Amino acid sequence: MMSGNSGCRERLVVVGNGIAAMRTLEALVSRVPWRYEVTVIGAEPHPNYNRILLSSVLAGERTIGEIVTHAQAWYAEHGVRLHTGNPVTAIDRTANTVSIAGTGAAVPYDKLLLATGSKPLAPPIPGLDLPDVCAFRDLADTEAMISASKRHRRAIVIGGGLLGLEAAWGLRRRGMVVAVVHLMPTLMERQLDMVAGEMLRHDLQSRGIAFFTNAQTEAILGSEGVEGVQLADGRQIAGDLVVIAIGIRPNVDLAAAAGLDVNRGILVGDDMRTSDPKVYAVGECVEHNGQVFGLVAPIWEQAEVCSARLAGDEAAVYLPSSVLTSLKITGVNVFSAGTLAAEDDADEELALHDPRCGIYKKLSCVAGGSSAACFTAMSRTDPGSSS
């Protein structure tokens, strides 16, 4: 519980109510529960939930209630003011205030934390505004896909990366006929080599998901609703629901409008401060040393550093570690970390491949004096799990 005289406490405003924001706030209140008067402003009309588990909700393996991580009671217990359903529309860095949509309120801050997340990428094609075309980023998207699965039979997922495959599997579990359209020749090409990618495709294909690789979507077909997609090579795929899952980009709009330094993401230093020393940023919205982030492990690391800095630890610095990726599809274990493959003759690779058992593991050791970077990939199908 936060305690102390609120008039003497610094005012911390947190823009965003997702994983990055709440991980930072959790760590902060455990360190210095008395230091800040905290206001959290979230664009979604919900308390915080675990976005990583949305694929499990889509697949029917969890309920929405089971993925809520911070119920209203948590905010009340820690003395945190929570605004939901009304995003911040502007930051006034001269007056040190943020403006909230809907209410028009100007909330003052002494320190500001931006955790505005990311936006889904969409291909520049006709038909994006048709009903039953959606992304897969938040709870509203998930609910829309579940609703569509009750009304329609055929789904098309554009994107064969991590999120696209999880969306495809969830819709398949909902009873839909699912096709995945992927621009590249193999699935999850950023995390898996060709052997592992092909093993994954073969396994998911055996579960009833069709794949169109080396395929570019040219248009979403239909007039009143989705009827399918047109590929650049002339092929057409029939469908009633289209899910766009081709990637994300940092949501920098608010920061850019406020005059903060942005590139692909909001630029932050090792202390997670932006170009304004009163303003911090964490999560998918940030760019650190030329790198942007879309997975949870580095975001948690950023949150720990940011909370330490806000608590007064001037020695805390963010040093990114290897990015870990895992696929959340029942019966398929995929893990990837670090460098995708050996880069020159001095590097070494060790591989274990057992096609009969559906196992593939590879370790690449990159030479470089006292340091080494390693990559491990495993794709395994548990016996009897394809039903």
Give the Cα-Cα-Cα angle 341, 342, 343 (nearest 5 degrees). Answer: 110
Which contiguous run of DSSP H or E holds residue 24? helix 19-31
| Predicted local distance difference test score (pLDDT) of residue 1 | 40
Top pLDDT among 296 and 148 is at: 148
Structure-token pair, residue 135: 């992304």
Confidence label for 331 from pLDDT (cuts 50, 70 and 90): confident
Question: Domain 6-119+248-310 adopts which CATH fold?
Answer: FAD/NAD(P)-binding domain (3.50.50)
Question: Is residue 359 predicted with pLDDT exceeding 80?
Answer: no
Which residue type occupies 262?
A: V
Look at residue 25 and give its three-state secondary structure: helix
> Do 258 and 93 meet the contact criterion of CB atoms below 8 Å apart?
yes
> Do 301 and 318 meet the contact criterion of CB atoms below 8 Å apart?
yes
| Predicted local distance difference test score (pLDDT) of residue 8 | 80
pTM of the model: 0.87
> Do 171 and 155 meet the contact criterion of CB atoms below 8 Å apart?
yes
| Cα-based distances in Å from 337 to 65, 191, 195, 266 | 31, 8, 16, 25
| Predicted local distance difference test score (pLDDT) of residue 195 | 85
Architecture of domain 122-244: 3-Layer(bba) Sandwich (3.50)
| Predicted local distance difference test score (pLDDT) of residue 379 | 42
| Predicted local distance difference test score (pLDDT) of residue 365 | 65
pLDDT in tens, 226-271: 999 999 999 999 999 999 999 999 999 999 999 999 999 999 999 9
| Predicted local distance difference test score (pLDDT) of residue 383 | 38
pLDDT in tens, 369-386: 433 333 444 444 453 343
CATH fold match for the domains 6-119+248-310 and 122-244: yes
| Sequence-separated (6 or more) residues with CB below 8 Å from residue 371 | none
In whole angstroms, what separates CA 151 from the centre of its chain?
27
What are the boundaries of each domain within the chain? 6-119+248-310, 122-244, 338-381
| Sequence-separated (6 or more) residues with CB below 8 Å from residue 204 | 165, 168, 169, 187, 211, 329, 332
Question: Is residue 197 predicted with pLDDT exceeding 60?
Answer: yes
| Predicted local distance difference test score (pLDDT) of residue 371 | 35
| Predicted local distance difference test score (pLDDT) of residue 233 | 96
- In eight-state DSSP terms, residue 52 is G
Question: Is residue 345 predicted with pLDDT exceeding 70?
Answer: no
